[in-house]
Amino acid sequence: MLNTAENEIIRNKMIESIDYFACGYCTNKIENIFSDTKKKKVIFEAGVFLIKHRKYGYILYDTGYSTKLLENKLKYFLYRMLNPINISEDKMINRQLEKKNISTQEIKYIILSHLHPDHIGGLEFFPNAKIIISQKCFEEFEKNSFRSLIFKEILPKNFKDNLLIKKIEAENKEFNYLKSYDLFSDNSIFLTELNGHSSGQCCAYIKEKNLLIAADSTWRVDFLDMIDKMKFLPKLIQNNFSDYKKSIEILKTMRADGIKIVASHDQSS
């Protein structure tokens, strides 16, 4: 049996569960990304995290790919040529939630790490959810630069109406690596920014799990120690490679301190 102290810990836990869904994937050759590597085809799953909060219910972190990217449009064709993707209706987040008997209406909040196509594809299925992004991410959205790689037509029409824009600027002793934002003011989910891949990229530290969802701060956790081998074109894809390297070093420090790090494109199996 649990003692009184253990029962109290369980009662006080705010995060009941975190589940992972691979909502499509893209492929690339590792030798195209890093030098001095053996030839190998790598899968980059479009990871979506479903967080169950004791008070606020289900919260999504990102929404994966959309089958809209398979449409016959020049922009999508070029994207698929550089970034071959695989997505089907049954792999989209709404269908995967249905298989778990979770209605899309149960999702009240969606945290978006950033606005690249592999993170926003399922937004249309959650018209009533509040969408949480960082202030810097919103500024990148408003800038409307081609380099930002934001396909606005994939976003729902009421996207801006549903936004909750957060300034991530507070110091917090519960997470002392970076400035953060205590999302629900209960120490359960700290939003923080790791820039480089995309401006204002919003990552989430789940204190009770000692877990950082690092989005695309590194494409995969097993790439953390390969940054110095990254080739010119993958460097060019980053919004700011100097900031990207700084973010990698922060992740390494967290890892050394025992924080579990997961990236959006880690392989699930």
Q: Residue 245's closest CA among 235, 254, 259?
A: 235
Tokens 């081998």 locate to 229
Q: Residue 104's closest CA among 181, 156, 160?
A: 156
d(C-alpha 106, C-alpha 59), whole Å? 9
Helix (H) or strand (E) holding 98: helix 93-99
User: Is residue 211 within 8 Å of 259, Cβ to Cβ?
Assistant: yes
- C-alpha count within 13 angstroms, C-beta hemisphere, residue 87: 32
pLDDT at residue 251 in the model:
98
Statement: 4-262 belongs to CATH 3.60.15.10: yes
Between residues 147 and 155, the one the model is more confident about = 155
User: Is residue 256 within 8 Å of 248, Cβ to Cβ?
Assistant: no
Which amino acid belongs to residue 261?
I
Q: Confidence class of residue 181 from pLDDT cuts 50, 70 and 90?
A: very high
State whether residue 43 is helix, strand or coil.
Answer: strand
State whether residue 234 is helix, strand or coil.
Answer: helix
Region 24-30: mean pLDDT is: 95
For residue range 81-129, list pLDDT tens digits in order.
988 999 999 999 999 999 999 999 999 999 999 999 999 999 999 988 9
d(C-alpha 260, C-alpha 149), whole Å? 29
pLDDT at residue 269 in the model:
62
Region 150-178: mean pLDDT is: 95
Q: Confidence class of residue 146 from pLDDT cuts 50, 70 and 90?
A: confident
d(C-alpha 216, C-alpha 197), whole Å? 7
String of b and e for 153-166 (b: at least 16 CB within 10 Å)?
ebbbeebeebbebb
Longest dimension (CA), the chain: 63
Task: Give the CA radius of gyration of the chain.
Answer: 18
Domain boundaries along the sequence of the chain: 4-262
pLDDT at residue 268 in the model:
78
pLDDT at residue 9 in the model:
43
Does the pLDDT of residue 254 top 80, yes or no? yes
- C-alpha count within 13 angstroms, C-beta hemisphere, residue 8: 3
